[in-house]
Amino acid sequence: MEEVIHARGHENVSAAHASTFEVTTDDYLTPAGDCILGVEADRAPADFDPEFIAACRHADATITATFETDGHAETVVGRGHPDLAFENDRSAVGRTSDYVDDRTILVGAEFAAEGFDRELVDALANGADLTVTLTVERED
C-alpha cells in the first residue's frame, strides 16, 4: 500500500535536523524549520487511506519514504508503531526515535533530514517540486 504527497521546496530548506524530517502543507518556511524538506504539500496524514493507516499501526510494519525531486531520489526506511494516529492536517514527520504524536508517519528512521543527499537538498532549496511516496509492508 502506498500514499503519495506532492510538495515543493523552499529557499529556507536546510535539512540540518538530526532526529526528524518533515513535509508540511504550510506555504512558508522559516530558517528554524531545519527538518522541513517540502512546503505546500497537497496532503497530510489526516488524508491517508484508513487501510494504509491500519497497516502502519503494526510494530512489525516497514514504512519506506521515498523523496524524489529534480532527478534526485532519497529513500528512508523506518517502522510502524501501534500509537500512530495519522490525525494531523498540516505536517507529516518521520522520526529516528520511537516518539509518536499526531504528526508522526514512521519511527525508527535510518536517518533524519541531516542525512539526506545534499544535491537533493540543494534542489529543494531552489524550489524544486517534490514527490514523497510512502509505502508500508508487513510480514505476516
Average pLDDT, the chain: 97
We report the CATH number of the domain holding residue 110 as: 2.60.120.630
- β-strand 129-138 against 61-69: which pairing, if any? antiparallel
Mean pLDDT value of segment 117-136: 98
140 has pLDDT over 90: no
Identify the pLDDT of residue 138: 84
Number of domain units in the chain: 1
139 has pLDDT over 90: no
Mean pLDDT value of segment 9-21: 98
13 has pLDDT over 80: yes
110 has pLDDT over 80: yes
Instruction: Please tell me the pTM assigned to this model.
Output: 0.96
Place of cell 532526529: 19
Mean pLDDT value of segment 120-138: 97
12 has pLDDT over 80: yes
* 105: containing domain: 2-138
Question: Around Cβ 78, how many Cβ atoms within 10 Å?
Answer: 23
Amino acid occupying residue 102: D
DSSP secondary structure string for all residues of the chain: -EEEEEEE--TT-----SSEEEEES-S---TT-TTEEEBS-S--GGGS-HHHHHHHTSTTEEEEEEEEETTEEEEEEEE--TT-----SSEEEEESSS---TTEEEBS-S--GGGS-HHHHHHHHTT-EEEEEEEEEE--
pLDDT in tens, 30-41: 999 999 999 999
Query: What is the rounded distance in angstroms from the CA atom of residue 57 to the CA atom of residue 50?
Result: 11
